Amino acid sequence: MKNKVLVTGGTGFIGSHTVVELQNSGYEVVIADNLSNSKIEVLDGIEAISGVRPLFEKVDLSKENECGDFFKKHAGIKAIIHFAASKAVGESVEKPLLYYRNNLNSLMNILEAMKEFSIPNLVFSSSCTVYGQPDKLPVTEATPRKEAESPYGNTKTICEDIIRDTAKANAQLKMIALRYFNPIGAHPSAKIGELPLGVPNNLIPFLTQTVAGMRPELSVFGNDYNTADGSCIRDYINVVDLAKAHVVSIGRLLEDKQKSNYEFFNVGTGKGVSVLEIIESFERATGEKVPHKIVGRRAGDIEQIYADTSFSNRELGWKSGKTLDETLLSAWNWQLALNK
Ligand code: UFG
């Protein structure tokens, strides 16, 4: 019998790619999502790629009663991957309570359900945002966390702490937090990808929309940073590679391979790439020109961050595989598919 995995936020950007990889690896998936930032049609894309339409339940897990009802209805779940969360940094500054309520309550409701329904295994979506601007690069898992720059970032730090403390008090629970660097790209089939609502805040969807003619030009936020070309540096991880990190994490939990019942891992490529290098790579991979101009710095941006991935490579037996050029080409193909 297949192991059943609950994917919360499974119609979202990273969630949908993870559902595909789970199904391709022989897991049965049930998705719980409130569709606040995703579309039900994503299920068609998942089905077209993997040949399986996952079970779907529209539910708001931040509501205790809805969460309880969901778990009463769906028996036999062996593990949970918890993606469902609000994630817009700017919006979180405007509406901190919305972010704290949504992101913290849903996690706590899920942890309660794991105890009540004897579901021992959890993989949690964390972020490199917990490191802030690190004093030393690349960041390892031993790099101290810093005070978060936004309420959104703070929810990730607090959620990690809630998981750590819950693991300490409940030896039967086994949990992994994955600290994502910058997830980009789309499935190579161009049947699923990122679906930004309104004007995108993130670099890649803004860039692809610009090249598609939907925006006049891309603003490069600052060229006076202390980096080789003056623009900010991030560690851009292909979303399919990132999805696969979840599949190996689920395997680690189900096969009892953990060294302790709460572990956390960096999930990146280990390579720092500047905004200007992204533009160069995109142009090389697609043959398209990226209209852009240099503007002032964006408030709250950190100068540079990239991962040391040796611990996750060794412990998880996982490594990013795709090149930046192929990742940016996949983002472009997804944009073209969207515009059709
Ligand atoms: N950038 C531009 N122009 C744009 C958009 C972005 O130059 O139109 C630059 C940014 O200044 C930054 C880089 O592109 O240097 C990446 O920016 P993103 O907005 O794509 O990503 P961030 O690194 O700012 O955000 C990521 C995650 C968040 C997380 C944050 C923590 O997407 O979830 O890191 O710092 F909170």
CATH code, domain carrying 98:
3.40.50.720
| Predicted local confidence at residue 98, as pLDDT | 98
The predicted pLDDT at position 197 comes to 85
Q: How far apart are the C-alpha atoms of 138 and 147, rounded to whole Å? A: 18
By alpha-carbon position, which residue is closest to atom 18 of ligand 1? 202
306 is catalytic: no
Cα–Cα separations (whole angstroms), residue 288 to 127, 202, 340:
31, 20, 18
Based on the domain organization, do 172 and 50 belong to the same domain? yes
Which protein residue has the closest C-alpha to ligand 1 atom 32?
A: 182
Is any ligand 1 atom within 6 A of the Cβ of residue 91? no
Which residue positions in the chain have pLDDT lower than 70? none
Structure tokens at 81: 């991957």
Residues 99 and 178 in one domain: yes
For residues 6 and 28, give the distance between their C-alpha atoms in angstroms, rounded to a whole number. Answer: 9
Q: Which domain holds residue 307?
A: 203-234+270-339
Q: Is residue 248 part of a domain?
A: yes
The residue whose CB lies within 8 Å of the most ligand 1 atoms, and thus the one to mutate among 14, 214, 275, is 275
- 221 is a domain residue: yes
CA of 302 from ligand 1 middle (Å) equals: 9
Q: How far is CA 113 from CA 66, 71, 82, 299, in A?
A: 11, 7, 13, 39
Residues in the chain: 340
Global pTM reads 0.98
Burial of 329 (0-12, 13-18, 19+ CB in 10 A): buried
Q: Which of 206, 298, 324 to mutate to test the pocket of ligand 1 (most atoms within 8 A of CB)?
A: 298
- Cα separation values, 46 from 3, 6, 106, Å: 19, 15, 24
Q: Is the CB of 209 under 6 A from ligand 1?
A: no
Is 298 touching ligand 1 by the criterion CB < 6 Å?
Answer: yes
The tally of CA atoms less than 13 A away on the side-chain side of residue 245 is: 34
* CA 295 to ligand 1 center in whole angstroms: 15
Q: Quick one: 314 and 295 in the same domain?
A: yes
Nearest CA to ligand 1 atom 34: 129
Which structure tokens are listed for 249?
A: 């994490």
Residue 322, φ and ψ in degrees, nearest 5: -85, 150
CATH of the domain at 225: 3.90.25.10
Which of 99, 152, 180, 306 is catalytic? The answer is 152
CA of 203 to the centre of ligand 1 (A): 6
303 lines ligand 1 (CB under 6 A): no
Q: Assess whether 220 and 115 both reside in one domain.
A: no
**How far apart are alpha carbons 99 and 92 in whole angstroms?**
6
Q: What is the pLDDT of residues 98-141, one digit of tens each?
A: 999 999 999 999 999 999 999 999 999 999 999 999 999 999 99
Q: Cα(208) to centroid of ligand 1, in Å?
A: 15
Residue 304, CA distances (Å) to 142, 168, 193 in order? 18, 33, 26
Residues 248 and 210 in one domain: no
- Please state, in angstroms and rounded to a whole number, the distance separating the CA atoms of residues 283 and 289: 6
Cα-based distances in Å from 181 to 112, 115, 156, 237, 307: 28, 30, 13, 7, 7
Residue owning tokens 């991880």: 237
> Which among 245, 267, 289 is the end of a domain?
267
- Cα(109) to ligand 1 centroid in Å equals 30
Judge if the beta carbon of residue 154 lies within 6 A of ligand 1: no
